[in-house]
Structure 1
Amino acid sequence: MIEELISKVAAEDDEAIEELSVVADTDPERLTPYLGFLLDRDVLWPGKLYRAADADVVRRVVERIDGGRTPDRLNHLLIILAHTAHPLAESAMRRWSTRPPAGADELHVGALDYAREGGWTVGPDGRRRDLCGGTAYRWTMRETPRRADGGTCPWCASPLWTAADLDTADPATGAALAHTGWSGRLVIETCHFCACYTTLYSQVTPGGGTAWWAGNTRPDYLGSAEAEDPPALAPVPGAARQSPYQASAWDRGGSTLGGRPDWIQDAEHADCPGCGQPMDYVGLIGGADLDDYGEGAYYLHLHQPCGFAAVNYQQS
């Protein structure tokens, strides 16, 4: 099956690429023996196909960038390296951050910033930090009546939505949030409407405390908005995912706690308003799980050292 799909992908069969993408999400190591073949045939997109690339393939991608033979493909090649998260990729991207390769002048961000596409970054101390966890659980939706004493959005007056109510005492939650360093209850409240237009931050405490951050800045393009009720649903952890990559921003049942985000657009890990560093990824709530006609996805983030949570949103 894989061999047939690989041949079709090399012939630019879009349906085969979609099927290989599913394999990359469920069991990326199955593609490892074939990635050199794809690289030889210039199949560079989507970059997630190369998640389980071995050292030889990573080295060849690095050499291709260093050789400057295809500077017009630099964006795709850097995304591939980010998804591999391989030490050789990390070393090369660090080097290119001070000595940019050919074609870098056409990029919108620096070479090392591409690491976020793969769910990792390099902190001010020079150490690598993974922004995502390796364990994921399906988020199932349950009905949650709105509290009569609940808060409202300072911008549009809509009742705030409890996007997550988690406790690391639960084994699944503890595993999914292990990479964040959080211990205790985590409640993330947001405005379901305004979060569609800008990243919204809240200050959180391990006792389940949550408060709208006073530094949230209303964008000028938001305009006026009437209050509307948030979803009467909230996620609860369900069964473990086969792979940390199985979140889906598109399909019903794709909402996922932990693991890796399924970005609709470019990776958008929120930056902590307290220290400016990228926040850790918590989970994804797909619009298809909130409403029969829902679209897009909400992405939840946390930065334990500063006590901030964030919610942002993407749609096609």
Structure 2
Amino acid sequence: MLTEENIEDLVVQCCAGDEDAVRELADAAASDPGRVAPHHARLIAAGVFGRGEVYRGADEATTGELVRLADAADGVALGELLDCVANAHPVDAERAFRRWQLAEDVGVHTRDAGWELTPSGTRRDLLLGPAFALLPVDAEDIEAPEGTAGGPDGPPVFGTPSGEHCPWCGMELHAALDLPPGSAAARALGLTGPDHVRVLCCPRCTDFDIILSAYDGSGGARWLEHNVRPSFNGPTLDGWDPYPTRLVLGPARPDGGSGSAWHDGGSALGGHPDWIQDPDRPDCPLCGRAMVFASMNGGADLWGGEGCLYVFVDLDCRTGAVLYQQS
């Protein structure tokens, strides 16, 4: 974990134009926004706008200055400043984007920051809530019948075999997200309704393309016919095994910050996605709206390697999507 001295050193390096330091400071702000916020004025004065996440948790004054600069910018500078504003103070950011929305399509900036404006101009959050750690547990240590495994409050959030099989490769599908009503994980995300939210993925085919599923609200889930088999789906089934690890709910992350797609212990329920590649938020296959981010399940926790599985849901349409990224 970075110390306050480390943060100060990164700020100095950012102000001197070090792009690697900007990326590292953005990661620090994503995981704990309050630690970077006191430095925002210095960063603005130095023109540090390359990563919008740096300004996550910004106050009204900081957001106002970012908006002022964006109003006077164009080209690449404008795009960077729009990313910064989208991550900043919610009320002021919404007000600015309502005004900008009249002139051009700026939705990509807000969606990457975890929200969007509807056609009527109201805010729609694309996040389920603050981040909680997801802790790895060896699959062999999970006992008791489904619905009670992983502790007294329900099954593992990730990794339970579903009994359904992938139409492309025949492997058993697993639950990429399992939130029974009333479970600790569901409550952590503020889900108080009666639906059992369940999203499926294939241990093999999810590595090659997005996997879409639908759930019935009672614990059942199925593969969606909207899935499109990729042109390359791996040369063979050899070497592909079921997930050896389950993920169970852990403590809240500091200041509601996000998990990490790169490090052990980085898997998270809620918060923002930590993208390895470019942001790739899917749309619901039924209604076409942007889906809501639910969890990220890191390869470092699941199989001791790189990569990350990102899980999205549409709670109204009862659909889910899982996509994979690696460096």
**TM-score normalised according to structure 1 size:** 0.85
1:161 — aligned with what? 174
One-letter code aligned to 1:37: R
1:271 to 283, 305, 309: 283
Q: How does 1:48-197 map to 2 (within 5 A)?
A: 48-68=53-73, 70-84=74-88, 86-100=90-104, 110-144=105-139, 150-178=163-191, 183-197=194-208
In the alignment, the residues of structure 2 paired with residue 170 and residue 213 of structure 1 have an alpha-carbon distance, to the nearest angstrom, of: 26
Length, aligned pairs only: 303
In the alignment, the residues of structure 2 paired with residue 188 and residue 274 of structure 1 have an alpha-carbon distance, to the nearest angstrom, of: 15
Cα contact 2:295–2:312 (8 A) shared by 1: yes
Note if 1:211 corresponds to 2:222: yes
Cα contact 2:212–2:223 (8 A) shared by 1: yes
More off after superposition, 126-135 vs 200-209:
126-135
In the alignment, the residues of structure 2 paired with residue 280 and residue 122 of structure 1 have an alpha-carbon distance, to the nearest angstrom, of: 14
One-letter code aligned to 1:43: V
Note if 1:306 corresponds to 2:311: no
Cα contact 1:132–1:260 (8 A) shared by 2: yes
In the alignment, the residues of structure 1 paired with residue 103 and residue 60 of structure 2 have an alpha-carbon distance, to the nearest angstrom, of: 22
Question: For each residue in 1:96-119, what CA deviation from the matched residue of structure 2 results, as whole angstroms up to 9, or x when unmatched?
Answer: 23313xxxxxxxxx3122111111
In the alignment, the residues of structure 2 paired with residue 312 and residue 212 of structure 1 have an alpha-carbon distance, to the nearest angstrom, of: 14
In the alignment, the residues of structure 2 paired with residue 135 and residue 281 of structure 1 have an alpha-carbon distance, to the nearest angstrom, of: 11
One-letter code aligned to 2:50: W
1:286 — aligned with what? 298
Q: CA deviation at 1:21?
A: 3.5
Cα contact 2:135–2:267 (8 A) shared by 1: yes
Cα contact 2:98–2:121 (8 A) shared by 1: no
**TM-score normalised according to structure 2 size:** 0.83
Where does structure 1 differ by over 6 angstroms across 4 or more consecutive aligned residues? 145-149
Cα contact 1:94–1:112 (8 A) shared by 2: no
In the alignment, the residues of structure 2 paired with residue 18 and residue 213 of structure 1 have an alpha-carbon distance, to the nearest angstrom, of: 37
One-letter code aligned to 2:59: D
One-letter code aligned to 1:87: V
Q: CA deviation at 1:207?
A: 1.3
SS in 2 for 1:311: strand
In the alignment, the residues of structure 2 paired with residue 99 and residue 18 of structure 1 have an alpha-carbon distance, to the nearest angstrom, of: 30
Q: Indicate the percent of aligned positions where both proteins have the same amino acid.
A: 35
SS in 2 for 1:78: helix
One-letter code aligned to 2:307: G
1:236 to 236, 248, 260: 248
Cα contact 2:32–2:256 (8 A) shared by 1: no
Alignment RMSD: 2.6
Question: For each residue in 1:254-301, what CA deviation from the matched residue of structure 2 results, as whole angstroms up to 9, or x when unmatched?
Answer: 111112211122322221111011112110000111112x21110111
Residue ranges of structure 1 left out of the alignment (5+ in a row): 101-109
Q: CA deviation at 1:34?
A: 2.2
In the alignment, the residues of structure 2 paired with residue 259 and residue 21 of structure 1 have an alpha-carbon distance, to the nearest angstrom, of: 15
Q: How does 1:18-37 map to 2 (within 5 A)?
A: 20-37=25-42
CA pair 170-147 structure 1, distance change in 2 beyond 3 A? closer
1:103 — aligned with what? none
2:326 — aligned with what? 315
Q: CA deviation at 1:223?
A: 6.4
CA pair 224-94 structure 1, distance change in 2 beyond 3 A? farther
2:269 to 238, 247, 257: 257
SS in 2 for 1:243: helix
One-letter code aligned to 1:242: P
